[in-house]
Amino acid sequence: MTTIHSGNSLPTHIGIIMDGNRRWAKKRFLPSNYGHSKGAETFKSISLYCNKIGIKYLTVYAFSTENWKRSQNEISHLMILFKKYLNSAIEKFSLENIKVKFIGNLSKFPQQIRDLVLKIEKGSSANTGMVLNIAISYGSREEITHAAKTLLEDVNSGKISVNRVSENLVSERLYNSGQPDVDLIIRTAGEQRISNFMLWQSAYAEFYFTSTLWPDFNERELNKALDEYSTRIRRFGGA
């Protein structure tokens, strides 16, 4: 039987690689968009649950830079889904005092999506509950490259000296600047790889892999991950 942990046993920052939407649909002989729609519902319920139990930061991997390689039909549906669920889910998040932030290269999205993102971030900016990072058009290598470029520009312009460049300064240039590193990364659907997700921020993260497909992931499944996390001894490279 799983239990809810509190206090020091809870991770401060959870990252979730939400995998398995298409496989969920395929198992039911349905088009992939049905899996994405069900996955969006799971995203909403899990986000609300994390906020309820006291998680301070949650980062969900919603759409990677590599996902742009998918069929135009699937991408078009995902754009429609983003608009639909962002409008409905974010309203609920606001009522629950959740602060929403989008991380990734948003320049690739249609203007309508970018306007919605700005509206949501501005509308939730004063909220003081859990910080929800939604990673869209996100790739960690691109994120680190972007951080390096901004530092190089500042060095070349004389704003900072090269001797001042440090790990902390790099962290400040990442998309989730000012947030703590990830404590626990959960990946669904049985794959056991990080897939270009928060490479810098997960240097000492604990990992939890489950064969459960993302649309079937629920509070009980999350509690299993939290149970497992509470047994880990984190040394951060020390003895």
Residue 67 annotated among the catalytic residues of the structure: yes
Active-site annotation holds for 21: no
Active-site residue (options: 8, 33, 51, 67): 67
Which of 8, 19, 87, 154 is catalytic? The answer is: 19
Angle at 27 between CA 25 and CA 30, to 5 degrees: 40
Q: What is the largest CA-CA distance in the chain?
A: 59
For 168, residues 6+ apart whose C-beta sits below 8 A from its C-beta are none
For the annotated catalytic residues, the residue numbers are: 19, 67
